[in-house]
Amino acid sequence: MRRADVWMLGVVTSLCLGTVACTDDDPVAGTGGATALGGGGNGGSGGAWQPGQEILEVIVDSTSTADQQDVPVSFGQVFAPGEVPSGTFVGATLGGEESASLQVDVKASHPDGSLRHAVLTLVLPSLAGGASQDVVVVTANQPLDGDTPSLDALLATDFDAVVTASIGGTAYHASARELLSAATPEAWLQGPVATEWLVAGPLVDDGDTPHPHLAARFAVRAHEATAAIRVDVTLENTWTYAESPQNYGYDVVISVAGEQVYSRSAIPHYRQSRWRKVFWTDPAPAVHIRHDARYLVDTGAVPAYDLDLVVPEEALAAMEAEWTGDAIEPMGAGLVEPAMPMAGGRRDIGPLPRWAARYLISMDRRAARSTLGTGDLAGSWPIHYRDQDTGLPTTLADYPYMSLLGNPGDLINPDTEQSEAFPDCAADCSTPYQPDSAHQPSLAYLPYLLTGEHYYLEELQFWANLNMLESNPHYREFEQGLLKWGQVRGQAWSLRTLGEAAYATPDDHPLKSYFVDRLGYNIAWYLAEYPDNTAANALGILANGYVFGYSGGRGVAPWMDDFFTWAAGHVVELGFTEAEPLRDYKSRFVIGRLTDPNFCWVFASIYSMIVRAADNDPVYDTLGEAYNQSLQVSYTADADALLAASCGGSEMATLLELSEGEMVGYSASAMGYPSNMQIAAAVAADSNAPGAANAWSVFASRTVKPDYGTDPQFAIVPRSLE
């Protein structure tokens, strides 16, 4: 199947954004909707291909001791704003020397039209056992035309992938071949190197009667230069409005190309959940991709983790040893806490969970396995609501009264006079998993960015949608999906996930505007409530939702507020600059706690802070008032002595039984309250708020700090210091 004019000439398959060298009949890269190939034939304008400026480098490691030939490699890649302007081609070289056929499937662009996110695909001619190959992504002077792997060619072979589920003595099945043959499938990837088709359909019995709830989804990827075919198999119980939803138990067998590749007995498939497995026909590539972590951080797409950290070998080995057993099989939870509402410092809480932060920092294969694997198992949670008519996650735009909460009358749409309540469970709908926006990990965002796989995109969309379903529709302003009603930490993590869905969803995906609009509604509400509101509190705290939960309605949790400040800054970093005034307003609170002369910075990480005189009273005008009252409540016996002591001095340290210059709230812990504060202090340092740089300097001067190597989930630093 190798094509001499594609591979042997070593010319680069390139990307063309905009109208330069593109024609209306150029092939389109799936739901990304951007042109995958420029026009102009082999060699473009007729001259030799020439590499331009180096953009980044990705390293492909062999995970086999055997030599490999014709090795297919695909990965997701984000690009900095303006890095690849409209009309610019992208190519690659191997080690900066030999050119490589690189297919670029554009998924998303920045507001200026430059490339934001793409799936890059190539086939390495060879990879020695245990060796590594540098793939240098560069700008290029021209594109390459070439034949695309066709569906007809695939169907001319005997390829098939079949999933069979035996339920109560009846066998239900779905065949990728039958679904591919029945209609024109969606192309997620499309170009001279590889094409990936997406198809879906219900499981059917031997009489072709569909199962009322169980459905299969296949992503089938064929390559032009190799016979290897990749098959992504997902089994779902996710229909939103199918009657009589329930759990199912079944035995499953999956076969690919006539060979059984997976089987498992007694899978408990929970309502509104799904599970996934990926297989290859021989030869399967044995590779691990190491992205340029510094470049990823510089794009703004991922949090600015301290990349000078070293994740200890023993931590990586322990994580690998834990990745085993039922927890990693269908309906397992992986590394996530099954009871999300459980309080306390946890490895899955933070801008990224511990395993994903380790992966970003180390690019270690074991961390990648845990991160991508737990992303797969995000499907186990009962949060997946798919529209049976559209095949997409069910949206508030279509069902503005849809909700997980509310009295029956609250869920009746007055325009249609129909209830949008979810159907009642017909039988067992129990699940070991309790989702909760206030403790929700980021499970799918980094996996999607770094792989470009459709499964992870949908997981991100499902979780972003869930957070808007957790309120009564009247509280969230119906289709707007406002997050203002929840706990502060719930608003924070929900805003993070919504912003990431708006950022990452492909430009031409049917739900792109849905997530961008919901993010816009939320930003607009917060702007009107705080920076644009002359009556907003002067401290910069979030004062809506379930915020005054301490000391009889007088106190707030600064650490929860810090989560929200970081989330507002993260949304700005993702390119939604309309949120800058919100980030700057929220930065006041963390900056003030570190620099206000009437507030000792040692207590900036206090567990709870008194911010008003009584329940329903206005918030204090000054941090000095909050400081005085907080010490009186939290340190009653020593309050006067602490107020009289020099801030951060030996007398204060003695009274607190801390080291001199140590902050309160478990300063040595990577999950303590100073660590929670660090993420807010970092984005505040990059804000336009007065005193931002000084605040970070004070925070960085604290004498007791955690070792973030093992637990790096809060190890974020200002981008201005990178």
SS3 (DSSP) at 583: helix
| Token code pair at residue 360 | 């970003």
DSSP string, 75-120: EEEE--TTTS-TT-EEEEEETTTEEE--EEEEEEE-TTS-EEEEEE
Confidence category of residue 142, pLDDT binned at 50, 70, 90: confident
pLDDT band at 23 (very low <50, low <70, confident <90, very high): very low
36 pLDDT above the threshold of 60: no
Cβ-contact 289, 60 below 8 angstroms: yes
Asked whether the predicted pLDDT for residue 529 surpasses 80, the reply is: yes
- Residue 345 pLDDT level (bands cut at 50, 70, 90): confident
User: What is the C-alpha end-to-end distance of the chain, expressed in Å?
Assistant: 46
Q: Is the pLDDT of residue 46 over 60?
A: no
User: pLDDT per residue over 176-210, tens digit each?
Assistant: 999 999 989 999 999 999 999 999 999 999 999 99
Query: What is the per-residue pLDDT for 722?
Result: 57
Residue 12 has pLDDT above 70, yes or no: no
For residue 147, what pLDDT is reported? 78
Rounded to whole angstroms, how far apart are CA atoms 300 and 120?
A: 20
Structural tokens at position 629:
């009252």
Domain boundaries, the chain: 4-140, 151-286, 531-722
The two counts, helices (H) then strands (E), for the chain are 17, 21
pLDDT confidence of 144, banded at 50, 70, 90? low
* Under 8 Å between Cβ of 163 and 252: yes
pLDDT category of residue 44 using cuts at 50, 70 and 90:
very low
Mean model confidence pLDDT for the chain: 92
Q: What is the mean pLDDT of residues 33-56?
A: 53
650: helix, coil or strand? Answer: helix
Quick one: pLDDT band at residue 404, thresholds 50, 70, 90?
very high
pLDDT digits (tens, 9 = 90+) for 571-622: 999 999 999 999 999 999 999 999 999 999 999 999 999 999 999 999 999 9
pLDDT level of residue 13 (50, 70, 90 thresholds) = very low
Residue 238 identity: T
Would you say 59 and 76 are in contact if contact means Cβ atoms under 8 Å apart? no
Helix boundaries (H) for 416-511: 445-451, 454-469, 488-504
Angle at which helices 580-595 and 673-685 pack, to 10 degrees?
A: 120
Amino acid at 58: V
Taking the CA of residue 18 as centre, how many other CA atoms within 13 Å lie in the half-sphere pointing to its CB?
A: 13
pLDDT at 128 over 80: yes
Closest CA to 253 of 263, 261, 243: 263
Joined together, the tokens standing for residue 474 give 């009247």
| pLDDT one-digit tens code per residue, 80-104 | 999 999 988 899 999 988 888 899 9
pLDDT at 671 over 50: yes
E strands within 486-589? Answer: 555-556
Please answer whether residues 679 and 716 qualify as being in contact, where contact means their C-beta atoms are separated by less than 8 angstroms.
Answer: yes
What is the arrangement of strands in the sheet containing 103-109, beginning at the earlier edge strand? Answer: 68-78, 115-127, 103-109
Mean pLDDT of 108-125: 97
Cβ(501)–Cβ(392) below 8 Å: no
**674 backbone φψ class: left, alpha, beta (φ>0; ψ -120 to 50):** alpha
Per-residue model confidence (pLDDT) at position 715? 98
What is the C-alpha separation between 426 and 167, in angstroms, rounded?
17
Q: Could you read off the pLDDT of 414-457 as tens digits, one per residue?
A: 999 999 999 999 989 999 999 999 999 999 999 999 999 999 99
Tell me the C-alpha distance between 545 and 449, whole Å: 32
